[in-house]
Amino acid sequence: MTAKPGWKQLKEGDILEAGTSQKFTTADWRSERPIFHKERCIDCKLCWVYCPDSSILLDENKKVCGIDLEHCKGCGICSFECPVKPEKAITMQNEHK
Amino acid sequence: MAVAAKTGNEAMAEAMRQINPDVVAAYPITPATEIVMIFAQFVADGLVDTEYVPVESEHSAMSACVGAASAGARVMTGTSSQGLAYMYEILPIAAALRLPIVMCEVNRAISGPINIHCDHSDTMAARDFGWIQMFSENAQEAYDNTLQAVRIAETVKLPTMATTDGFIISHCMERIETLEDDQVKDFIGEYKLTPSLLDIENPTTRGALDLQDYYFEHHVGVGEAMKGARSIIKSVAEDFNKKFGRKYDLIEGYKLEDAERVIVALGSTCGTLRAVIDELREKGAKVGLLKIRVFRPFPADEIAKALSNCRSVAVLDRVEPWSGVGSQTFVEVRSALFNLAKKPKLINYMYGLGGRDISLKELAGVYENLKKADSLQEVNYLGVGE
């Protein structure tokens, strides 16, 4: 592992390139993970709209294709909002299972 | 150069007109109201091309200042007391983001109980937020400090406040000498922040999450900038003196060279002290004044050097910080003297809280007390009812 830059190397005023959150996992405190069931998905994108962490992945045709588990903190909003019945297209599962 | 009769608030507003900042976001509060009120009139009259943001609180004012400064604007604001306190949450963010915001701050008591008059409670409580702090003795210094603050802030890349004493300076009319508009323009120069937050071709992130990884390093960075500010403030003052013939420094002595008994003070009281010193000097008393013009960064070395040869020193502070061990300036001056081999006897007076008047007689009494400083207690109140 390379040493972190010290204060002399940091830019003044904490000015960074945009999009730094992509390099930083916000998922390591997750206790429940969403499981995406492709066969049940109707591609309404409500999960994508509601996700507070932009963690719903879309494929090249802009169809829901999975979950970014590096940034998903497991809030479960996607599963809660999923309108598919009787079983939702995104279900939550305990991380320890 | 024009001579005019102006109050401290008018002087600061005039400086703001000549600076012509890109953005001013402010919320009026006594006794600083007039600064932004007069400036709003300048905006309405088209005398400046400033974007004036009339916000709903001081918290929003400082937030708007941070946003505008991040975008690369030259930004100013003005406030006082509770208004400054309402900005406290954003003040260290402005410093950590290294944004050169300039504030005209009018020193006023902090509630409670409610009081609109002068003391230094508000500014002293903001001393640890990474802002450069300058105190003014009169309206002339308020004007000159405001102009220098722009250069200082933009060179050091730290926010800077120039302060006056509420009502004593802010509302009292004095003779001041103002500079020509183009002289001010030439002195402060152009300002450009790169990269600007509005540069959408090269997008940047500001104020990202730091946590255990870099918070410490960023704090050290601000601390080092503050240390470096000393020489920059001195060089800006030297340039100001060279161009306009008015001399400033971090500290200023009055009849200090051979003084045996010295009072250390900030702000308007220094003017009163000069009169007291003149009177006592006529009677042969070796008394002097050490005025602290710049409180942050604290000029510890300069103070230690200036006080090393006197016998006894009283540090006057217009604030009671309820620490139980004396006021802020006293504690820091004592710390500055600690490593001296030969130290003067040092005592503390807290005075003038909530606009309590300070008289020539009381100040002469402090010099009298300094003769027997050894028998006095370290921390004292001046002019308080017992």
- Mean pLDDT, all residues of chain B: 97
Q: Distance, in angstroms, between B100 CA and closest chain A CA?
A: 11
Of the candidate ranges A8-12, A58-62, B171-175, B262-266, the one whose mean pLDDT is the lowest: A8-12
What is the structure's pLDDT at B82?
98
Task: Report the C-alpha gap between B227 and B232 in whole angstroms.
Answer: 10
Task: Return the number of CB contacts < 8 Å for A and B.
Answer: 52
Contact call for residues B277 and B363 (beta carbons, < 8 A): no
pLDDT class for B99, splitting at 50, 70, 90? Answer: very high
- Hunting for tokens 């001046």 — which residue is that? B382
Which residue of B200, B201, B214, B216 is the best one to mutate when testing the A interface, meaning the one whose CB has the most A CBs within 10 A?
B214
pLDDT class for B208, splitting at 50, 70, 90? Answer: confident
Which residue of B66, B204, B215, B227 is the best one to mutate when testing the A interface, meaning the one whose CB has the most A CBs within 10 A?
B204
A29 touches chain B (CB under 8 A): no
Give the pair of three-digit tokens for residue B247.
């001399």
Task: Report the C-alpha gap between B60 and B64 in whole angstroms.
Answer: 6
A15 touches chain B (CB under 8 A): yes
Give the pair of three-digit tokens for residue B153.
């802030």
Residue A5: list chain B partners with CB under 8 A: 217
- Tell me the per-residue pLDDT of B225-254, one tens digit each, with 9 for 90 and over: 999 999 999 999 999 999 999 999 999 999
B206 touches chain A (CB under 8 A): yes
Q: Distance, in angstroms, between B278 CA and closest chain A CA?
A: 47
Nearest CA in chain B to A18: B204
Question: Which residue among B157, B204, B214 sits closest to A10, beta carbon to beta carbon?
Answer: B214
Q: ipTM of this complex > 0.95? A: no
A7·B218 Cβ contact <8 A: yes
B217·A15 Cβ contact <8 A: no
Q: Does the predicted TM-score (pTM) go above 0.90?
A: yes
- Tell me the per-residue pLDDT of B255-283, one tens digit each, with 9 for 90 and over: 999 999 999 999 999 999 999 999 999 99
Q: Distance, in angstroms, between B74 CA and closest chain A CA?
A: 16
